[in-house]
A and B are shown apart, each in its own frame.
Chain A
């Protein structure tokens, strides 16, 4: 996803001279071309993330749209007050790009993971968090983010190609309506690839409806998602993020506010570090039950 992201930005900067790229001293083997192409509009702010956000807000106040790049944990947690006060309170068009959200940096350890990032950011005023799952919806999110001219957080993971049975929607992506469906699955982030793998050849594949929500916060249920839940009365949410302040809790609240009757609601989410041990991204997904095998098993439990 990072190469597609970089290529997309390269296209944008050709068309717009008000875009500035600021990195917190990261981007080796990914941003070199962008640096050369952007010249003095590419700024390495050093290992100083709080200052980077303040500088970005100052530049945005002078008419620039500013991309701030680091890995997801460094650009969220270290500078949360700068994000809230300098960017969100003032509705500044600064786009925080965090590479490797969730357990993306796996064996690098918990300092490099970001499994509470959406919870930290999505409640702040004016900000929109983009958590694309696939390459295709990533491009749509990027276009929207640059058009919106307001604070944004972009979680960049290892997304693959979107399966053909999904198509792009305002809220992310969805499959076609299926009146025979008995389960509504709502997923977010590239962990959706595990869901796609689990559904591949799954005996109940034709009896589920799949929704990808790639923007947070969610203030209301998209119409077709609401209709699907009303029909199936069964919900499974899947996210590489803790349950507090994430997709599952948002959908749960909205389902209740809309008085939708529910038979069964399961949230699969990042469980943190229940055994205290560290491994690859797929190791942590497995520990949290976000792996293909467990997702398949959970889907079976609805039928």
Chain B
């Protein structure tokens, strides 16, 4: 497995950051780290990326550290006083984090603006944004989606981390599936669905989408498992919030060792 080692190593880093900080938001970082590897590890120089689900900041910090955008010394300050790496990304600290997020529903309009600016200038590159499926409850999702379609932003590629859980329940039980492919297709997006933990599948989908200049904005729905890789966290809402005990941390590291061979 070509990417398995990196997927495992970055999971270990995410866990160690959360253990050091005794902090939550573990499950949501583990659900989208593979998506971020597929975007950021293979980023072109003119591409931009916004993590709209800012609560998955440890996944973002970890992959940005991996590709040299955040230094190791900064990683040691995560969640501590006077850090540049708080629980949600901060503004104006790293070029690779163009926008501070944390309140949901901001990323799509921002990424649409970047894509629109690229269109006006005739500039190259794709504007990427990663949203959560729960986040698509936000009204700005629908304002932004229609704007992207109306402005023919085929240089916009949205990923939705579809783990089917949100803040206080299953997405299906709350507002229904606001990240359903048919909804986005009906608005005018080009939509693909992939396994959000299969990096090769996501890279293939990405290549197809970015190569398709048909005037339609693009959406890749990445089906994921919240807490992916740690059996006792998988598909459990509480791992949006909980920190790990010492025993749970050691158990998680063992699980990654077995499953990812690292």
Contact = CB atoms under 8 A, between A and B. Distances in A.
A46 B146 CA distance: 9
Contact of A54 (B100, B112, B120): B112
A56 B113 contact: yes
A163 interface: no
Interface in B118-148: 118, 120-121, 123, 127, 139-140, 143-144, 146-147
A61 B121 CA distance: 13
Given A46-B147, A48-B143, A61-B98, A86 B120 contact: no
A61 B107 CA distance: 13
A84 to B, nearest CB: 9
Contacts of B117: 58-59, 61-64
Interface in A39-89: 40-41, 43, 45-46, 48, 50-64, 81-82, 85-86, 89
Interface in B39-88: none
A279 B118 CA distance: 46
B197 interface: no
Contacts of A63: 117, 121
Majority secondary structure, B binding face = helix
A122 interface: no
B103 to A, nearest CB: 6
B91 interface: yes
Contacts of B108: 54
A64 B121 CA distance: 10
Given A51-B112, A54-B110, A82-B109, A46 B150 contact: yes
B18 interface: no
B99 A86 contact: yes
A89 B140 CA distance: 19
Given A86-B99, A89-B100, A91-B92, A54 B140 contact: yes
Interface bin, chain A: 20 to 34
Nearest to A56: B113
B140 A51 contact: yes
Interface in A120-135: none
Contact of A58 (B100, B113, B146): B113
A62 B147 contact: no
A139 interface: no
Contact of B139 (A41, A45, A50, A61): A50
Given A55-B116, A62-B117, A90 B144 contact: no
Given A85-B103, A89-B100, A53 B121 contact: no
B103 A81 contact: yes
A59 B120 CA distance: 10
Given A54-B140, A55-B112, A89-B91, A45 B99 contact: no
Contacts of B103: 81, 85
B218 interface: no
Residue with the highest number of chain B CB atoms closer than 10 Å, among A51, A61, A82: A51
A82 B140 CA distance: 10
A85 B114 CA distance: 16
Residue with the highest number of chain B CB atoms closer than 10 Å, among A40, A61, A63: A61
Contacts of A57: 99, 109-110, 113
A86 B101 CA distance: 9
B216 interface: no
B111 interface: yes
B115 to A, nearest CB: 8
B106 interface: yes
Contact of B114 (A46, A50, A59, A90): A59
B100 A90 contact: yes
A20 interface: yes
9 contacts: A54-B140, A55-B109, A55-B113, A55-B116, A58-B112, A58-B115, A61-B114, A85-B101, A90-B100
Given A51-B140, A82-B140, 5 more contacts: A51-B112, A51-B147, A58-B115, A89-B100, A91-B92
Interface of A: 20, 40-41, 43, 45-46, 48, 50-64, 81-82, 85-86, 89-91
**Top-6 shortest CB links A-B:** A58-B113, A54-B109, A51-B143, A62-B117, A48-B143, A55-B113
